[in-house]
Amino acid sequence: MGNEKIKNLENKLKTLWKHREKRFGVGDLKFLYEKAQNKKVIVEMGVSQGFSTLTILVALEHAGGHLWSIDYNRKACKEAVKTVKEWGLEKNWTFIVEDVIAYSRSWKKDKMIDFIYIDLSANFKREWWGDLFKAWVPYLKQNGEILIHAAKAHFKKGVGFVKGPNFEIRNIRFDRWDNCLITKTGPSSAKEFSDVIPGVS
């Protein structure tokens, strides 16, 4: 894609980010924009207004790649779907209206993921995270990354919940954000979570 077109999209993105700048800042989205570039297979959990969706899709314009976004609330994502089309980004996008754990059962077994971005509402209960990891981590490539947005809102006691021999966890703070970046460092399955997440067997 030409530089001009990317510049245009980046300007649109900056205007979009302004809508949440006052309330939340944009440091987390800038970081996401950098992270998503050069990734080929990205899965996003939680679309809603689409701030992160559009950020990832514009990032993918740099080197190609595809984003699968999952959200079970079609109505809440109406604006995001509209904007993706308006910006001409739908060719690299698959939108799935389903529960994030249920959809893992439809994921192609040999399609390995580079990057998973998770931004689920606070009503995604703590005890479901084990199932989420069990469902998706096997599809994450070695050195693949999971970025959990505002992890603190979900894990009030911190993010020591996913320590394992094949994971490296870094806590990244942007002002008011408490995002958690997890890197898969070995050929693990989700089994290793069983020791550290209550309710996972």
Ligand X SMILES: C[S@@+](CC[C@H](N)C(=O)[O-])C[C@H]1O[C@@H](n2cnc3c(N)ncnc32)[C@H](O)[C@@H]1O
Q: Which position among 13, 16, 71, 164 is part of the footprint of ligand X (CB under 6 A)?
A: 71
Supply the minimum distance, in Å, between the C-beta of residue 24 and ligand X.
9
Nearer residue to ligand X within complex by CB, 77 or 164: 77
Burial of 137 (0-12, 13-18, 19+ CB in 10 A): buried
| Cross-strand partners of 118 | 45, 148
Whose Cβ is closer to ligand X: residue 128's or residue 163's? 128
Closest approach, Cβ 48 to ligand X, in A, equals 3
Helix axes 27-36, 3-24, angle to 10 degrees: 150
155 to 184: interface string for ligand X, x by CB under 6 A: ------------------------------
Region binding ligand X by CB under 6 A among candidate stretches 8-16, 47-55, 84-92, 166-174 = 47-55
Q: Kindly state whether residue 46 participates in binding ligand X, applying the rule CB under 6 A.
A: yes
121 binds ligand X (CB under 6 A): yes
Q: Which of 8, 11, 73, 171 binds ligand X (CB under 6 A)?
A: 73
Our finding on whether 72 is near ligand X (CB under 6 A) is: yes
| Long-range Cβ pairs for the range 188-193 (8 Å, 24+) | 188/137, 188/164, 189/137, 189/138, 190/133, 190/134, 190/135, 190/136, 190/137, 190/138, 191/134, 192/164, 192/165, 192/166, 192/167, 193/130, 193/133, 193/134, 193/137, 193/162, 193/164
Residues binding ligand X (CB under 6 A): 46-52, 70-73, 76, 99-100, 119-121, 124
